[in-house]
Structure 1
Amino acid sequence: MASPAERQRPTWLNQLPEHSIFELDENEYLEWARINNATKSKVSNVNQNGQSTPFGNSFASSLAGSRLGVKQKESFGLDELQEEHQKAYQGLSCMALHGQDLYVAVGRQIRHTSLAELKRGVENHGRAAAADYIDRKQHKVLKVQHVDFDIRRLVLNQEGNLMAIVGDEKIVIAALTRITKQDAKVVNCKSFVLGEFYHINKGPSKIVKVLWHPLSKGYSHVLVMTHDNLLRMYDVAVNPDEPEQVYNFAEGEHTSGTYGLDVDNAASFCFGSKYSPWGQLSVYCLTQFGDIYMMCPVMPSNCYLDASDLDDIRFQLGRQVVNDNEPTELDLVKKEWLESLLETRNPHPFSDEVVAVQNPVLRVAKVARQGPFLYQPAPIELEDDDNKANDILSLEAEAAEILVVAHSSGKVDVCIAVDRPAPRWALPKRLRNNGKFADEDIDEDVGLPVVSVYESIDLGLLKVFATSVSSSAGGYSFQEKRMGIPNHPVLAADPLYGDTFYIYHEAGAHCVSIRPWLEELSRIYQAASQRVVAGLDARVTKFYGSKIKSNVGCIVTTRPTKSSVPAPIVGFVAVADPYLEYSLLLLTSSLQLIGLELMTRSEAVDISTPSTPTQEASTVVLKENEYQNSLTLPGFGNQEGLLALNGLPLQPKIVLPPGVGAAKITVTEDNLLFLGKMVQGYRESLREVYTACDIAQQRINAQEAEYTRQQDSVAKSKERLQVLAKKLQDQVDRQDAQAAQQRRLMVRADELMQKMMEWNDQELSVAEKEWSVDVARKEKIVKMFDERRHKVQTQYEILKRRLLEMQETVDGSLSAGGEYSQESTGRESRNSSGFGQGSTTIARQSVQQPQSVKRYGTGQIQSVTKSLSDESQLLDTTVKMTKDLMSRLEVLSVDDSTTAE
């Protein structure tokens, strides 16, 4: 019978552990050992006196019996790799993910593979095809210069084109290119060393943490925190050798005169939440003793800001300056900084919601350190006398600024910042008259910032790995309880949900969800935002008094007992790409990959707040609809046990180094305790499953009952519909009958109207008929006169125009008579009219070419004039008669209308 693993459907998540990217073959191992030995030989001659190299202690044993093909990759050369990981003094992060590209650091080598190609190759093609694809699939190797150290961290910028390769005392920045499957196995990458003068072979300047600034304009600003509490910001695109800005979190502290006291070195740092306008411009620094400091603003020289955040910044600083009646020198600094910031404001080329600004350069003031933060109440202390803080994380929660602090003892403090981040500047100290320094720090009346420790979570590591150490001081001896293994926990935020974070460490990984109590805090925050102050203090007091616990679960265990072979988690990424499943990838120091599939939350159904209708809502529903659904939402209630950690299993996945599981187990007290704990855990898991089954069965019964009720309701509704259909048909028949009756009434009304019109329209009398004939005759005469008038008027216009022409001709002939012969003059004198006024040119032409000109006598003209006069009189008489006739017709029409009435 096939095992459950063999029956499992092949997916990229369960096939990824078999990928070549997590193998270490013989050639790679020998090359790695050769480079590492050559590097160490520069410091000391390791091979003197017959001593072997650290890589050669177990090389023969690793090689012996490992030439069996596939099983070789599970144990070849991994002991030396684990030894190198144990030498790290900081938490490791040897995996990085950007989109669908996965990068893994193995020793001094960086490898790459595409998860999207892996998914397309292994899924939906059968198990044999998936196994064949995994055997053929090879990873790419990034050839990066200057990487002559064991890689501790891989940090990608937001665009995925720059990678910070971090070692203990060296940082290399690699420029990444788009890698395709057609590329060669070895891909060359351009690289350069970052801050070589400040980090290489500098004892107190060991690298603590490296992060890319989230608001950098070109995503090229990287921040490096070192042990000496100095935070250096580099712009790798401008000058990778010298820092652009340096922030000192140890200002005012003189470590040279501690007289044997431990120095409070930096342990980690993080940026603030994006939900605050100053959040991503704020940096929280954590020291090894657990103190928290903050600096704000930590701004790149060129950065992007949300337009809404810039408006909030302008409002806050402007209000502080205006409210001060007597502006101090620091108020002037705020004003200068704000004005300089607004002057450099430029719109984003592709978005209206983002603006580009430049960091203002102040002449005297500098960004001041804030803190240490006061813990109120103080966190719960475990029995570890050597407890140190290791990492800090700011959660993306809108309700409040939530800080998480991880300690080496396995304690996790969840803190709520009382106030949001705010900027603070300081002026240099100046001498007073009495010779003392006057500190011109901002807001001297304001005390230290405060964080409220809401919860201290114990991961249970100290109970398993604690050891007792005898110490003596002042003649007294006492027992000290300390962590028996080196532990450097690392915090990682969930990419989708701001209320969930992960912590991986020496013995495995845990998941923590603050959702149970963050929802109530969010409701209080919303009420405060809406100015609902009634009972707000009481709600806050009740919130802190309720002490709602976070959901905590162990997801992976790599070292179940103190005597187990160490296999710490050295890589962690959360996959949130839409094409890939929402899942977690964890890598152990023995190159074992653990893939865990997560479950996304449904937006429609909230598992934390059942939507049972209230009494008032039920009353309203009953008034509007007689039927009410008996089922409540969500369907399965608050199953926090199964769904609390985004679908992660209730029991951790136990992962042991290769070869350990098959070894003979020795019965010891630790082993028995671990087995008892696991059995108890599985019993609790079974109880949760049984409870979920009972709830599911109850839900099924409720759904069956509701289905029966719905069937009965549907049957009753069907009967009512039949009755309503019969009534509706009766109403339709009545409407048809009424429509027919209406049509008959309309016909009768038309007939009555016609009769009334005929009765009113009687036959005319003889006088009326004669009068009508007379009117028609006169109308005809008027029309004839009108036509005659138009014709006479036309003739009159023609004759008048001809008369004018004749007069012009006669006048022209008389004026030209003096220049010609006497015969012509005598002939022109006998004529009283001629052509129009002749010009000199026409006269000359008539002399040169004499032509016969038609002339009219005075008698002819007089006769024409007389005819025109007669026609004009006739026309006037016609017009007068026409007007008279028209007036008479109007009188007749008025009389006719009066008679009709």
Structure 2
Amino acid sequence: MSILANSHNSWDSWTKRLFERIENDEDINQNSSEDVSTTSSNSNLKNSIANEKTTFIVGHDVCILSSVNTIIQTTTIRILSLPGLARAHKQPCIQLLRPSLPFATSFMVLNSTSKLLAVAGKYHVAVVILPPAIRSATTPNLAHDVKIHNIGEIYHADDTSPVVKMLWHPLSFNKSHLMVLTADGLLRMYDVSTDPNEPEQIVCFSDQSAFGPSSALKIARSPTSKKKSSSSNGGSGGVFGIDIDEREAVSFSLGCGDDGGDGFAGKLSSVGDGDTSEFIGWNALSVYGVMKNGDLFAFCPFVPLKSVWSLKALNNLKSLTDNQWKSCNQSDEASERRFYWKSRWLDEAIENVNEQQRESNQLPNDTIVLTVSKSPWTKRLLTRQGPIAVISNDSNLETHDFASDLTVVSVGSIVALAISKESGVVDILIQVSSPTADWALQEKLVSSSSHENESPLFVKYEEIELFAPDYQSPAAGQIKFIRDPKYSDAIYAKHYQGVSLISFHPWIKELLKAKELETSTALTDLFGSKHVDSDVQCLIDICESDKSTDGVESFAIVNDLLLGYGFIAKTVNGKSLGHSLTLRSQTLTEQISTNPKSSPSSPAAATRTLKIVAYTPEITTHFEMPRVLEKSQPIIITNEKPGADDTPLDEKLLRTLTSKIVDIRNDIAAIKEAGSFVQNRVEDVQSEALLQHKAICSYVDVLDGEVMERAERIRKRAAKMKVRQDAINARVDAILQFAMDATQPELNEAEREFFAEVRDMASRVRSILKPRLGQVSKQKQILMNQARAIIGSDGTLATLSNEICDTSSISFGNSQLGKINDALKNEYKLLTETWKKAEDV
């Protein structure tokens, strides 16, 4: 066995620990005293390798192991946390999940949140809910109780149609929509969060002419009828029809990508105003299926009823539909009905989005959540589009070459299909026209001429031969595709002779350049004389002598910040492989787009091309000070005594001076050499500084040019939006004022006469009472002045003479004055209240 990959020390270290944990399973052995189940979960995996078939898949931060006991046909699932493997001092533990699944697992699919694990057997489907505490556990535990939901117990049971492929829909709002394809061509979509038993939507890739579109749901909901058909036609487990090759489905794939990394809501949300360079039309809402004989079919739109959408993409689809309707034959009744249902579907979606934004009272956002009403569309089945036409230059087509798998690759506006064949060949098809939304119409309204113009079309770009077929091997020809989580234009093909990497990057890059030039010559040369092949590399190659025992059973790509980028694999005989993969070299000019997606604001900006200078450090070594410069120089002692010149020099002193002079000369030569070395280093640093300065200047040019222009456009747009919002607010205020004025009560003739009479009475009361109140006020003021004169300015009787008035007369005067004052106050109060009442009336 040979492996073509770049090994790395850190990668080898954590993969070694991973395989040691898988093989030894120390965490389960530490708790082997606890009775979990009757299976071999308490025994060492290395000892039970003969009775168990272990496979694995890798998610965002977990590795999920599936051990199938071949004797009792049960499946044990274990989970291992991957981030702990990147740290050498930590030993993550394998967590066991219980209960075990009562069927043998064929393959597993993990959703994007790593919380739902879909497990499929030959006939059964189940979903395991993975709590976060289990995925991040670092202490050994024997078993964890988890919830397991059986999916479609009526449709996926013993002796029904075998399960072919499963995928989680990437546009699902809750990431809980599971798509299950069975060999009879039925594709069911389940919303696990609401109803795991009944599918939300059903489409059929196989030939429906035998039973008609109206009875498709009846056949889908009647597994007993399949059993009878199976026994009558001689098929095994879910029969298809007269020609089993035409009605047996082998795989399906989504137009937006199976992983959704560059899907409908993510990629198209970055499309600017008026820019359609990455717009792929209805293809983002389509699903493709391939039959065993190689026929391609499509359904559109096939999306969850509650999904994540892009508002700009919806508006682009609406504009595309309107333009197509203007350019087509409007006299055709069938075309008119098709465009009517498209427009109605889009109008309902856009109105739903606008209503949600009005109710949520939030700022407008491109990524929105859409809930499509189910009732108007359940009565109409989606139309099966196909067999899709494929243009090919190969005249010698093999009629007995069966298909085995299908995947869609979407990069920018380029959509390609990869179809694997049992002969070891992978066909690469490029999309010319995408599917469009289509529902089943009445037979008398169907017009073949108008329908052919809207049918999808592909052209065969190349044919890749991975291996020579060996029809004696039972696993020969079964090529399965694995998507690369890092690069959307690369796939991995797993087959019985190993694993191959297929990269479409070389010709997709040239095709994008040809589309930018908008010349037919460049496209013709790409398919002719200047044909660019895909980059094919063999990662794992099974030797000829090992084919009887070896074979890649599990293969997964790991893309993590801590763990790195590489693959791990396991062969049939239990051998584990793990190596890092080489990242693509990418300069800053490729990372940053030099052409702005929005239209430039000035002609000068349209002709200017800003480029980022790629800065690559030329100084890769650290500077070390020459040792001779750190050495202490010798001290020369001179004889300054009087008469020293007459003193003869002996031979010993001469030898000492000679050795010192030689050392000094050597040091001087070393210092000169060190000086030249330092000078060269200084020159290198200066040149490095110039390179950095050029790179910084290029960044400054981009910031001052393109970025500042975009910021200015955004600022002007915000100012216009503010003015527009103020105008809208003023209009709303005017409408509210008009509404308030329009809703004021109107009085009838009798009410008007009554209010006029009341006003007249009030004026008369005022005219009569006003002079009387003035007179009473003057009288009160006179009496108050007299009372003050009698009592005194200080409010006491101290001013009266004790000789004239005795005590009784004084007491009588005080009491009498108080009575008078109270009477006046009461009269004044009554008059004041009367005046106020008159004014109120």
Q: Same fold (TM over 0.5)?
A: yes
User: AA paired with 1:413?
Assistant: D
Aligned to 1:99: 60
From 368, 372, 379, the counterpart of 2:383: 368
Question: Does 1:140 find its partner at 2:72?
Answer: no
Aligned to 2:345: 337
Residue 144 of structure 2, aligned match among 176, 187, 190? 187
Deviates more, 1:596-605 or 1:156-165: 596-605
Return the alpha-carbon distance in structure 1 between the equivalents of residues 342 and 80 of structure 2: 49
In the TM superposition, what is the alpha-carbon distance from 1:713 to its structure 2 partner? Answer: 10
Higher relative contact order (CA 8 A, sep 6+): 2
Equivalent residue for 1:222, pick from 175, 178, 194: 178
Distance 1:169 1:602, change over 3 A: same
Can you list the C-alpha shifts for 1:802-852, whole angstroms capped at 9, x where unaligned?
xxxxxxxxxxxxxxxxxxxxxxxxxxxxxxxxxxxx96765787799999x
- 1:111 maps to 78
Indicate yes or no: 2:170 matched with 1:237: no
How much does 1:513 deviate?
1.2
Instruction: Give the 3-state SS of the residue equivalent to 2:147 in structure 1.
Output: strand
Go from structure 1 to structure 2 and tell me whether the alpha carbon gap of 1:498 and 1:81 turns closer, same or farther (over 3 Å shift): same
* Residue of structure 1 in register with 2:708 after alignment: none
Aligned to 1:428: 442
Q: Equivalents in 1 of 2:685, 2:563: separation in Å? A: 46
Deviation at 1:379? 5.6
Is the 1:249–1:293 Cα contact (8 Å) retained in structure 2?
Answer: yes
1:171 corresponding residue in structure 2: 125
Cα offset for 1:304? 1.0
Which secondary structure does the structure 2 equivalent of 1:160 belong to? Answer: coil
Partners in 1 of 2:7 and 2:554 — Cα distance?
27
After superposition, give the CA deviation of every residue in 1:191-214 in whole Å (9 maximum; x if it has no partner).
Answer: 1211111111234x2111011111
3-state SS of paired residue (2:488): coil
Q: Is 2:497–2:547's contact at 8 Å kept on the other side of the alignment?
A: no
Q: In structure 1, what is the equivalent of residue 109 of structure 2?
A: 155
Moved more, 450-459 or 306-315: 306-315
Deviation at 1:189, TM superposition (A): 0.9
Describe the superposition over 1:177-234 as per-residue Cα deviations: whole angstroms up to 9, x where unpaired.
Answer: 011123623111101211111111234x211101111111111111111111111111
Task: Report the Cα distance in structure 1 between the residues aligned to 2:311 and 2:337, rounded to whole angstroms.
Answer: 28
- Residue in 2 aligned with 1:419? 433
- Cα deviation code 1:552-574 (max 9, x no counterpart): 111112x3217732332222221
- Where structure 2 has 5 or more consecutive residues not aligned to the other structure, the ranges are 1-5, 69-74, 212-232, 234-239, 257-262, 268-279, 595-612, 619-676, 691-780, 794-798, 800-841
Question: Residue deviations 1:313-357, cap 9 Å, x none?
Answer: 222234444556457222322232222222322359899331111
Instruction: Give the letter for the 2:507 counterpart.
Output: W
Name the counterpart of 1:410. 424
Note if 1:266 corresponds to 2:223: no
**Aligned partner of 1:358: which letter?**
T
- Which amino acid letter does the alignment assign opposite residue 20 of structure 1? R
Structure 2 residue matching 1:199: 3-state secondary structure: coil
| Larger Rg over CA atoms | 1
Name the SS of the counterpart of 1:520 in structure 2: helix
Is 1:292–2:299 an aligned residue pair? Answer: no
Match of 2:453 in 1: 446
CA contact 1:425–1:442 (8 Å) conserved in 2: no
Deviation at 1:711, TM superposition (A): 7.1
Change (3 A) 1:585 1:845: closer
Pairing 1:876-895 to 2, within 5 Å after superposition = none
User: What secondary structure does 2:165 align onto?
Assistant: strand
Instruction: Tell me the amino acid that sits aligned with residue 125 of structure 2.
Output: I
Which residue, out of 567, 570, 583, partners 1:587? 570
User: Aligned partners of 2:538, 2:494: CA distance in 1, in Å?
Assistant: 10
Q: Confirm whether residue 283 of structure 1 aligns to residue 266 of structure 2.
A: no
CA displacement 1:58-93 (0-9 Å, x = unmatched):
xxxxxxxxxxx9xx966x4545546xx9xxxxxxxx
Tell me, yes or no, if structure 1 residue 352 matches structure 2 residue 352. Answer: no
Secondary structure of 1:425's partner?
coil
- Per-residue deviation, 1:160: 1.4
Question: Which residue, 201, 210, 221 being the options, matches 1:254?
Answer: 210
Match of 1:657 in 2: none
CA distance in 1, matches of 2:488, 2:422: 24
Does residue 555 in structure 1 map to residue 510 in structure 2?
A: no
Q: Which residue matches 1:817?
A: none
CA distance in 2: counterparts of 1:634 and 1:288, whole angstroms: 51
Given that residues 251 and 369 in structure 1 are in contact (C-alpha distance below 8 angstroms), is that contact kept between their aligned partners in structure 2?
Answer: no
Aligned sequence identity (%): 23
Matches within 5 A, 1:206-221: 206-221=162-177
Q: 1:167 deviation in Å?
A: 0.5
**Residues 457/81 of structure 1: CA separation in 2 closer, same or farther (3 Å cut):** farther
Per the TM alignment, residue 102 of structure 1 is displaced from its structure 2 partner at its CA by 0.9
| 3-state DSSP of counterpart to 1:117 | helix
Deviation, structure 1 residue 283: 0.6
| In structure 1, distance between residues paired with 2:578 and 2:171 | 32
1:490 to 2:474 alignment: no
What is the CA distance between 1:608 and its match in structure 2?
13
1:118, CA displacement in angstroms? 1.6
For the structure 1 residues 240 and 428, does the alpha-carbon distance in structure 2 shift closer, same or farther, using more than 3 Å as the test?
A: farther
Superposition RMSD in Å: 4.3
Q: Equivalent residue of 2:560, what SS?
A: coil
Q: Deviation at 1:445?
A: 4.3
1:18 aligns with 2:19: yes
Aligned-pair distance for 1:119? 1.5
| Residue 254 (structure 1) shift | 3.3
Is structure 2 residue 405 aligned with structure 1 residue 391?
yes
- Deviation readout 1:619-642 (Å, 9 max, x if unpaired): xxxxxxxxxxxx999999xxxxxx
Relative to structure 1, is the Cα distance of residues 379 and 231 closer, same or farther in structure 2, using a 3 angstrom cutoff? farther
Tell me, what secondary structure is at the counterpart of 2:442? Answer: strand
Q: d(CA) in 2 for partners of 1:584 and 1:295?
A: 34
Deviations 1:396-419 (A, max 9, x none): 311411111112221111110112
> Which residue pairs with 2:646 in the alignment?
none
| Alignment partner of 2:467 out of 442, 460, 463 | 460
Q: Where do residues 789-800 of structure 1 align in structure 2 (5 Å cutoff)?
A: none
Alpha-carbon spacing, 1:288–1:498, altered in 2? closer, same or farther (3 Å) = same
Distance 1:413 1:22, change over 3 A: farther
* Partner residue of 1:301 out of 289, 300, 305: 305
How far the C-alpha of 1:369 sits from its partner, in A, is 1.2
Amino acid at match of 1:387: D
Displacement after TM superposition at 1:292 (Å): 1.1
What does 1:398-797 correspond to in 2, within 5 Å?
Answer: 398-430=412-444, 439=446, 443-446=450-453, 448-462=455-469, 465=470, 485-527=475-517, 533=518, 536-545=519-528, 546-557=530-541, 559-561=542-544, 564-604=547-587
- Indicate how the Cα distance of structure 1 residues 331 and 425 shifts in structure 2: closer, same or farther if over 3 A, else same: same
Which amino acid in structure 2 is aligned with residue 572 of structure 1? F
Q: Deviations over 1:289-315 (max 9, x none)?
A: 111111110021211112222222222
CA 1:591–1:185 in structure 2 vs 1: closer, same or farther (change >3 Å)? farther
For residues 119 and 320 of structure 1, do their structure 2 counterparts lie closer, same or farther at Cα, with a shift above 3 Å needed? same
Aligned mates of 1:353, 1:116 — CA distance in 2: 34
Over residues 751-805 of structure 1, what are the superposed CA-to-partner deviations in whole Å (9 max), with x where a residue is unaligned?
A: xxxxxxxxxxxxxxxxxxxxxxxxxxxxxxxxxxxxxxxxxxxxxxxxxxxxxxx
Letter in 1 for 2:16: Q
**Partner SS, residue 412 of structure 1:** strand
User: Separation in 2 of the partners of 1:846 and 1:169?
Assistant: 119
